[in-house]
């Protein structure tokens, strides 16, 4: 979805701390960002020569402690700005299974390949998830009262947990999300999960791992999202941008030919006209 936003030049911020799967991890970082609670050395752990934070994805890890701290706090600043500036915030939940670090006595966002004995794996209850999601909504809404918060549940199945366990996990997420949406006017649910499970429900819409949606499935979900949440005038503008991006990605069969030069000249004219009319849009 973030790639779709990027292609159509829609302003967005996506996962400054990498992909987070369970609600408590999202809640922790949202609170930290809005409270401006910066990361310190006490928030980092080390495995061999790698420094990392249990609050973040491995993409923020590294061999230099200060670089990891700086990167984590930069991501925290990006997250805070996005939460305060956005008109719409999409929170996608992947699993209700969470890992609690026994020594720290706290749930983590990422295990960073630590030994299994360091953690206790727990299925979060519907009530705990509901409290967490409600707190996320309240934290954001208190400082950005006009924002719409869209909750979704990922259709990607966590098969490593087990098929039955995955179903229990998704059921807990869905029940909790709908309770929060029912109680808050500016909280909404987008049915990405149901679009894959019920509308498409065929393995031909999945990649070779039979777990992740393929390009056709992603396109279908995107079209449904666009219809539901993108204004008509913005959709028309997106069609123009899509046409320009497609032309920019065009590769001539005979570079340097008259036809190629004519195509590039007309494309440049189209781009200049678009930028003159929409100077705030980068394309």
CA dist 133 → 14, 55, 150, 245 (Å):
19, 17, 11, 37
Tokens describing residue 191: 């049915």
Query: How many helices and strands (H and E) does the chain possess?
Result: 9, 8
Please answer whether residues 16 and 51 qualify as being in contact, where contact means their C-beta atoms are separated by less than 8 angstroms. Answer: no
Instruction: State pTM to two decimals.
Output: 0.89
Per-residue model confidence as pLDDT tens for the chain (283 residues) = 899 999 999 999 999 999 999 999 999 999 999 999 999 999 999 988 999 999 998 899 999 999 999 999 999 999 999 999 999 999 999 999 999 999 889 999 999 988 889 999 999 999 999 999 999 999 999 999 999 999 999 999 998 889 999 999 999 999 999 999 999 999 999 999 999 999 998 888 989 888 999 999 999 999 999 999 999 999 999 999 999 999 999 888 898 899 999 999 999 999 999 999 999 998 8
Q: What pLDDT, on a 0 to 100 scale, did the predictor assign at position 201?
A: 84
Q: How far apart are CA 24 and CA 40, in angstroms?
A: 20
Q: Which two tokens stand for residue 245?
A: 């991006």
Q: Which residues contact 10 (CB under 8 A, 6 or more apart)?
A: 238
Contact 229, 150 (CB under 8 A): yes
SS3 content of the chain, % helix, strand, coil (to 5): 55, 15, 35
> Alpha-carbon distance 174 to 151, whole Å?
10
Q: Pairing relation of β-strands 119-123 and 97-101?
A: antiparallel
> How far, in Å, are 27, 59, 85, 109, 246 from residue 53 at the CA level?
16, 10, 26, 9, 40
Between CA 119 and CA 175 the distance in angstroms is 26
């Amino acid at each position: 979805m973030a790639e779709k936003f990027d292609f159509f030049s829609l302003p967005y911020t996506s996962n400054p701390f990498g992909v987070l799967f369970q609600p408590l991890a999202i809640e922790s970082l949202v609170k930290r960002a809005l409270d401006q609670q910066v990361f310190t050395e006490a928030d980092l752990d080390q495995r061999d020569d790698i420094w990392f934070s249990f609050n973040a994805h491995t993409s923020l890890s590294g061999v230099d402690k200060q670089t990891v701290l700086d990167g984590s706090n930069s991501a925290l600043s990006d997250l805070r700005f996005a939460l305060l500036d956005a008109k719409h915030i999409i929170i996608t939940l992947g699993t209700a299974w969470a890992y609690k670090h026994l020594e720290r006595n706290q749930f983590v966002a990422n295990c960073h390949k630590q030994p299994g004995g360091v953690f206790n794996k727990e299925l979060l209850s519907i009530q705990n998830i509901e409290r967490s999601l409600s707190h996320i909504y309240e934290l954001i809404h208190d400082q950005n009262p006009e924002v719409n918060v869209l909750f979704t549940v990922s259709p990607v199945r966590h098969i490593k947990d087990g098929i039955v366990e995955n179903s229990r996990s998704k059921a807990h997420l869905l029940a909790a999300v709908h309770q929060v949406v029912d109680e808050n006017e500016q909280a909404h649910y987008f049915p990405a999960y149901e679009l894959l499970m019920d509308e498409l429900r065929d393995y031909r819409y999945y990649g070779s791992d039979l777990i992740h949606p393929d390009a056709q499935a992603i396109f279908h979900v995107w079209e449904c999202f666009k219809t539901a949440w993108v204004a008509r005038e913005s959709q028309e503008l997106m069609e123009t941008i899509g046409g320009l991006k497609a032309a920019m990605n065009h590769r001539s069969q005979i570079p340097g030919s008259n036809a190629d030069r004519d195509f590039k000249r007309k494309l440049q004219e189209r781009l200049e006209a678009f930028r003159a009319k929409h100077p705030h849009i980068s394309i």
